[in-house]
Structure 1
């Protein structure tokens, strides 16, 4: 049976950037070997279940699954437009540092303000990351960490129902 919309598919996968950097995998051994598991200690590294056509995974991954069958493997390159989108400078915002720090304390946000601090956009609801802290300005990037990246996946189809 070839995979089409409406199928529930279980896959093993490895995701890398074009330069070979591992960013995600279902393989616990590979995650531990690469250091990915140490970066995400609460993450379960196990097969991924995809309900094809529901749009819960990136578009390019769903497209790669359509037409495959149980037991098949494939390697696919997914451009940013079918992954996490292009990097947009318009999703980088600057805030007055004093006002930003006050907002954090008003919302009982734990931790000291530092590069990598994660926040949620008040109006957009988008997650953001503090990328720069100057004397009077805090810069927050609301782009997904993989925006602008071409992603390469190795996929093994384990089960289709």
Structure 2
């Protein structure tokens, strides 16, 4: 299935879209200058998108539009303390070649996930590896271009 989509948070903030004009209006195009905005092709049932979107796409035909409201449980889940990692400050400084990140900066784990530094002191650094959209209800406006 190939579709155009725009994803929004409860407050109306656009966090992702396949449409360049929407990305420009929302200020996303500036944040990701190398990104190409093209329709998304997914295999429904293939686990390529979040569960709630997958469920919402079932049965849609080419030319149809729909608005999918997806609770956190079927999107990125709820934030969990298990996703907050602690590092010894000296050890982390050594791993990063002498630099210590400040609160608000990001660390990249070996699996590619990003953790936001939420605490730094002399003894410990805490990084939050919860997905940025954890705990959020997501709304997707979708337009089905083609069903293959």
Give the deviation of 1:136 after TM superposition: 3.1
Say what the alpha-carbon RMSD is for the aligned residues.
1.9
Alpha-carbon spacing, 1:79–1:24, altered in 2? closer, same or farther (3 Å): same
Give the deviation of 1:96 after TM superposition: 1.6
Match of 2:9 in 1: 17
- Structure-to-structure mapping, 1:35-74, within 5 angstroms: 35-74=27-66
How many Å separate the matches in 2 of 1:21 and 1:65? 22
Q: TM-score, normalized by length of structure 2?
A: 0.90
Gaps of 5+ in 2: none
Give the deviation of 1:52 after TM superposition: 0.8
Q: Deviations over 1:12-39 (max 9, x none)?
A: 0000011111100011111112111111
Q: Deviations over 1:71-106 (max 9, x none)?
A: 000001101111111111221122221111111229
Q: Alignment partner for residue 137 of structure 1, among 124, 132, 142?
A: 124
Task: Confirm or deny: 8 A CA contact 2:92 2:100 kept in the other structure.
Answer: no
Q: Alignment partner for residue 148 of structure 1, among 121, 132, 135?
A: 135
How many Å separate the matches in 1 of 2:112 and 2:64? 38
Matched, 1:101 2:88: no
Q: How many aligned positions are there?
A: 147
Q: TM-score, normalized by length of structure 1?
A: 0.83
